[in-house]
């Protein structure tokens, strides 16, 4: 199973992203399809030498990456997230949070290069007993380079957009709370014949079915939400913070219901959901806001 999984990734990346990677093909003076070493001695595999120039210290790398744990669990996939990763290139040996094999490889890459490499806990200076994995495998493509000033200008622009978004979301706090309370009243009435149920027992009413990415295990989810007890007591919401709540689907970091329901709600969806206590906080509750054995309602927006 492990071999076929990695083989599938390599095959798909070879077709869609990396192009031809026959061993022994010369490209830009470097043999494509061979194992290379960084100046510090870390080994990586070159699938394809891109047409662009090599990145310089101080510049920012924009790259796609797939990270696979023990050849079977995808921890991140920027192709699915549609979000390039970014790292500013530091001097070799310079102290920063990015120092390590990943930065070592990025320093050697040209725009368009596609590489693969494997890390162990030892490579990451992590005690083996601290993490339950043997190795991490990375497939990485350097998509573009930006100068520090270009990167800063992009960050400033995105910050302005984000600040506007935060302000607009905060204005929705009270309207969305009221919307959830209205939905709860309609649950046994106007909504009754349109309520859907998951095999686990969650009930949900879809206001808008999104057309974005289908949520699967390992995919990042960002939601705005309002939560209420069955008596109408609002116990939490994300709107007053002005930003969505984010988590990785299927990792067990949220209540069981949230690790289930969002596979039915693609990005862009808006829905009201009813969660039985056993898929929420169970017998323990979440004092002081949520009592033991409490069924919950949520109004959720899955951010595009």
What is the pLDDT of the chain when averaged over all its residues?
86
Q: Are residues 101 and 13 in the same domain?
A: yes
- pLDDT at residue 190, as a whole number: 96
Is position 263 within any domain? yes
Top pLDDT among 304 and 60 is at 60
What letters, b where the CB count within 10 A reaches 16 and e where it falls short, cover 197-217?
Answer: eeeeebbbbbeeebeebebee
- pLDDT at residue 101, as a whole number: 86
Q: pLDDT-derived band of residue 6, with 50, 70 and 90 as boundaries?
A: very low
Top pLDDT among 12 and 100 is at 100
pLDDT (tens digit, 9 = 90+) per residue, 210-263? 999 999 998 889 999 999 999 999 999 999 999 899 999 999 999 999 999 999
Domain count within the chain: 2
The pTM score is 0.57
| Gap between the Cα atoms of 265 and 261, Å rounded | 7
Q: Are residues 87 and 215 in the same domain?
A: no
Domain span at 112: 2-148
Top pLDDT among 35 and 121 is at 35
pLDDT (tens digit, 9 = 90+) per residue, 84-106? 999 999 887 654 444 578 899 99
Is position 165 within any domain? no
**Is the pLDDT assigned to residue 281 strictly greater than 70?**
yes
């Amino acid at each position: 199973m492990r071999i076929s999984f990695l083989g599938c990734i390599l095959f798909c990346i070879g077709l869609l992203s990396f192009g031809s990677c026959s061993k022994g093909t010369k490209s830009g003076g470097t043999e494509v399809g061979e194992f290379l070493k960084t100046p510090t001695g870390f080994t990586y595999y070159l699938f394809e030498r891109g047409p662009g120039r090599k990145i310089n210290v101080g510049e920012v790398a924009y790259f796609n990456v797939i990270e696979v744990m023990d050849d079977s669990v995808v921890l991140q996939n920027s192709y699915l997230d549609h979000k390039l990763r970014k790292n500013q290139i530091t001097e070799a040996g310079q102290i920063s949070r990015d120092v390590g094999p990943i930065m070592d490889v990025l320093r050697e890459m040209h725009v368009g290069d596609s590489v693969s490499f494997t890390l162990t806990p030892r490579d990451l200076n992590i005690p083996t007993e601290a993490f339950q994995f043997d190795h991490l495998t990375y497939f990485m493509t350097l998509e573009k380079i930006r100068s520090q000033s270009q990167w800063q200008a992009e960050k400033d622009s995105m910050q302005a957009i984000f600040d506007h978004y935060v302000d607009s979301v905060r204005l929705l706090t009270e309207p969305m709370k009221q919307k959830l309370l209205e939905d709860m009243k309609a649950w046994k009435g106007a909504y009754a014949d349109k309520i859907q149920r998951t095999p686990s027992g969650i009930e949900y009413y879809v206001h808008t079915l999104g057309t974005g990415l289908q949520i699967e295990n390992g995919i990042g989810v960002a939601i705005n939400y309002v939560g209420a007890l069955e008596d109408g007591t609002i116990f939490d919401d994300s709107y007053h913070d002005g930003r969505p709540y984010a988590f990785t689907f299927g990792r067990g970091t949220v209540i069981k219901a949230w690790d289930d329901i969002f596979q039915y709600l693609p990005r862009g969806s808006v829905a009201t959901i009813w969660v039985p206590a056993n898929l929420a906080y169970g017998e323990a509750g979440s004092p002081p806001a949520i009592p033991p054995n409490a069924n919950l309602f949520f109004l959720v927006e899955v951010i595009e």
